[in-house]
């Protein structure tokens, strides 16, 4: 038995502005390509969804396979967990808000990894680490977001696009190769990161704090990729 649901969408579970890696983006499309259908277990399907066929820096949408909490049903605990109240517009974050304590910890961790400017990697290379993890994991949505940020902050659009088009073994300069390969090793399994990866990062000019940023960016987002991949799927920009 199936149930037809009212069309809802989250076109931006992760932020596409140049200021936040994980807040809702109001500029993306605001409706599904067709009415979603839920089965008896509440799993939502999108029979005619316009799915991306390749990795891209386009501003993709994202649709959930489980029903998020409706914005009007959010409690103070949910609002606190969202950290930024603007995230309530995101279906992805309203879905994660079903476990508010974990969501709040997740968001605080995400913010510290990307916005802590005390030392460490430049923002572009923190985003590169997350983009490499996402490309390796096959998370088209997250790769689109972090590759946009990496291209924006580095001004190296061709290099970022090569990562998307040709994969994590595509040629890059010494520094970016070291960051990408360390991120990919961590994404496969933590013990795959070896002393050789750390030596390559140091040879490319990274100090301990910068290496820590590579590790945190890749580790956090290879977990976040897998979470997102289990809860929904991307859609091409609408309109």
**What's the predicted TM-score (pTM) here?**
0.85
CA-based nearest residue to 91, from 219, 5, 149, 217: 5
Q: Is 191 exposed, middle or buried (0-12, 13-18, 19+ CB in 10 A)?
A: exposed
CA-based nearest residue to 228, from 110, 74, 80, 85: 110
The tens place of each residue's pLDDT in the chain, 239 residues long, gives 444 344 333 333 444 344 455 433 433 333 455 688 988 889 999 999 999 999 999 999 999 999 999 999 999 999 999 999 999 999 999 999 999 999 999 999 999 998 888 889 999 999 999 999 999 999 999 999 999 999 999 999 999 999 999 999 999 999 999 999 999 999 999 999 999 999 999 999 999 999 999 999 999 998 999 999 999 999 999 86
Q: Is 86 exposed, middle or buried (0-12, 13-18, 19+ CB in 10 A)?
A: middle
Residue 23 φ then ψ, to 5°: -110, 160
Domains and CATH numbers, the chain: 118-227 (1.20.1290.10)
Measured distance CA(82)–CA(76) in Å, rounded: 10
> What integer pLDDT is reported at residue 50 of this predicted model?
95
Measured distance CA(25)–CA(55) in Å, rounded: 19
Measured distance CA(2)–CA(160) in Å, rounded: 42
Measured distance CA(27)–CA(12) in Å, rounded: 9
Query: How does DSSP classify residue 136?
Result: H
């Amino acid at each position: 038995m199936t149930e037809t649901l009212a069309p809802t969408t989250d076109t931006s579970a992760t932020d596409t502005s140049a200021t936040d890696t994980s807040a809702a983006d109001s500029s993306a499309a605001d409706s599904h390509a067709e009415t979603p259908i839920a089965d008896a277990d509440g799993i939502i399907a999108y029979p005619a969804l316009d799915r991306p066929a390749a990795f891209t820096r386009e501003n993709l949408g994202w649709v959930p396979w489980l029903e998020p909490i409706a914005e009007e049903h959010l409690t103070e605990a949910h609002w606190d967990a969202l950290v930024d109240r603007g995230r309530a517009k995101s279906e992805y974050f309203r879905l994660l808000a079903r476990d508010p304590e974990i969501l709040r910890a997740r968001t605080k961790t995400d913010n510290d990894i990307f916005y802590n400017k005390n030392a460490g990697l430049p923002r572009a290379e923190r985003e590169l680490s997350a983009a490499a993890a996402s490309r390796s994991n096959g998370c088209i949505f997250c790769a689109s977001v972090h590759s946009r940020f990496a291209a924006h902050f580095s001004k190296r659009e061709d290099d970022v696009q090569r990562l998307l088009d040709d994969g994590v073994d595509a040629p890059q300069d010494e520094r970016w190769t070291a960051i990408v390969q360390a991120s990919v090793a961590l994404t496969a399994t933590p013990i795959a990161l070896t002393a050789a990866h750390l030596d390559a990062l140091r040879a490319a000019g990274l100090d301990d704090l910068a290496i820590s940023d590579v590790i945190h960016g890749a580790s956090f987002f290879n977990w976040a990729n897998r979470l997102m991949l289990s809860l929904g799927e991307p859609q091409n920009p609408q309109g």
